[in-house]
Amino acid sequence: MIDGRVTRKLLLLGYPAMVLVAPMLHAEDLRSALAATYASNPTLLGAREQLRAADAGVPLARADGLPSLSATANETEYVRQNTASTTDMPRMVTAVGTLTVPLYSGGGVKNAIRAADTRVIAGRNDLRSTEASVFTQAVTAYLDVIRTEAIVRLNQAQVQTLSTNLKATSDRFQIGDVTKTDVAQSQSRLAVAQGNLRSAEASLVQARETYIQIIGHEAGELTPPPPLPALPATPDDAVSLALEANPDLAAARERSKAAGFDSDVARAARLPKVSMIANGNYTDYLGQLALRGDFPFPIAQSAATADVSIRATIPLYQGGRPSAQIKQAQAREGQALDTEIATERQVIANVRASFSNYRAANEIIAASQTAVEAAELSLRGVKAENSVGNRTVLDILNAEQELINAQVQLVTARRNAYVAGFSLLSAMGRVSGKDLGLDAGTLYDPEIHYRDARGTLSDWGVDKVQGAGQPTRTVDTPAQNGSTFGD
């Protein structure tokens, strides 16, 4: 099971200080990077706005079951009247008010509201999924910067070492201690190392630009990541947790339920509908209504009427529309069920793959650590043997290359292990802002906007809940370079 408490002991082996740790000026840790991502990443903020739009679906569905009131007013001028008429009616003003109260709709409104509510729940899980995806991207970008900075430092150290070796080999060639071939080999290895350094610097630029894209600002001096929470011991345990909490799977399940309600809404089209209708009418002739001829009694210049009725609408034949709508809704319901199973398959595959990658990366860490220690010992031994003439310059160059290869593999394995572990937590639905305990102010609570949207009855209501945030632009950030801090 997952232990939410994060221990202080590092999950992975400590990074070599010469490789990953530089003077801690303007340092940024992973928690603050994730907090910045949570507050300003446009993909995440867009997902919040999408959920707010889904919230509005509930009052839209409910509106079909609530009373509606309308009024119309007309002013009529009779520019030509019937000469045979006994009245003069030059103009009149009429006002009509109509109140309609739905009484029965075959269950269509009720099920439409249920479908909308269910889609809100699905939308919340979509938001959790987007949040997990963006956080995983942020963690990957963070670790990629750390890894590429480490590789650049390793290559810088190798270039410096090979430059010293070349100078020493050239000096020894001058006194006849080595051959021209030894000098050429040293020159070749130095040129290759310089090319590797340029490639590593280009990779660092890419990593830093990706960091800006995801997190929203430049990567400063990044500290090693904190330990991950305890992870499941077996892939079956991880899958069990994911089936309970994975947001993509939860969203697919809710959409399946909503599709079932949609089928009920479609069936309601074949059932009767009952409503109450109240009408009020007022007519005013503006004091100008008159009878032609000599009549001794006054004529009323206004009139008002009101009526209430019950209307039952019974569908008899609609050209096959209800049947087609039902079949369409049932097909979509089946599709939603199939999508749920497909999502479940995908979640299971992702969890098992992440678990395997995490375990393999940790095993590679142990093997690479052994390889680094052995390569360091081998290099010292080769140098000692070269000093007494038992080893050649090429042997030293090969030993140095083996060492840097092992160091790069170790750095990469540490990055891969952390990313795989975080991806596993993400697949299990354990990396929301609340799960991570981010210090990003008040975390976004979708329930607040939902309650406000659902409680709105006025046609003139406005969104009283604060927006989902403000994404930051990165156009003003400078182009990144491949230098490391302290260079």
Please tell me the total count of domains within the chain.
Answer: 2
One domain, residues 99 and 157: no
pLDDT in tens, 414-438: 999 999 999 999 999 999 888 888 8
- Tell me, yes or no, whether 462 lies in a domain: no
Beta bridge partners of 101: 276
Nearest Cα neighbor of 424 from 147, 231, 144 is: 231
117's tokens: 């509510």
- List phi, psi (to 5°) of 99: -115, 125
Instruction: Note whether 402 and 357 are within 8 A (CB).
Output: no
Q: How far apart, in whole angstroms, are the C-alpha atoms of residue 28 and residue 146?
A: 12
244's tokens: 């309970």
pLDDT in tens, 326-369: 999 999 999 999 999 999 999 999 999 999 999 999 999 999 99
One domain, residues 245 and 288: no
One domain, residues 376 and 287: no
One domain, residues 83 and 147: no
Q: How far apart, in whole angstroms, are the C-alpha atoms of residue 438 and residue 426?
A: 15
pLDDT in tens, 48-76: 999 999 999 999 999 999 999 999 999 98
One domain, residues 302 and 400: no
Structural domain span for residue 300: 66-104+272-314
One domain, residues 297 and 415: no
Nearest Cα neighbor of 21 from 127, 112, 166, 150 is: 150
Averaged pLDDT of the chain? 87
Q: How far apart, in whole angstroms, are the C-alpha atoms of residue 415 and residue 409?
A: 10
Nearest Cα neighbor of 116 from 67, 64, 62 is: 62
Q: How far apart, in whole angstroms, are the C-alpha atoms of residue 416 and residue 424?
A: 12
Report the predicted TM-score, pTM, of the whole model to 2 decimal places: 0.85
One domain, residues 176 and 264: yes
- For the residues of 229-282, what is the DSSP string, one character each? PBPPSSHHHHHHHHHHH-HHHHHHHHHHHHHHHHHHHHHGGGS-EEEEEEEEEE
One domain, residues 360 and 431: yes
**Burial of 444 per CB tally in 10 Å (0-12, 13-18, 19+):** buried
Instruction: Note whether 420 and 354 are within 8 A (CB).
Output: yes
- Residues near 74 by Cβ (< 8 Å), separated by ≥ 6? 93, 94, 95
One domain, residues 258 and 164: yes
- Tell me, yes or no, whether 82 lies in a domain: yes
One domain, residues 246 and 211: yes
pLDDT in tens, 102-157: 999 999 999 999 999 999 999 999 999 999 999 999 999 999 999 999 999 999 98
Mean per-residue pLDDT, 2-7: 34
Q: How far apart, in whole angstroms, are the C-alpha atoms of residue 229 and residue 121?
A: 28
Element (H, E) at 103: strand 91-104
- For the residues of 438-466, what is the DSSP string, one character each? --SSSPP-HHHHHHHHHT---TT----S-
One domain, residues 303 and 394: no
- Tell me, yes or no, whether 485 lies in a domain: no
- Tell me, yes or no, whether 456 lies in a domain: no
- List phi, psi (to 5°) of 196: -60, -35
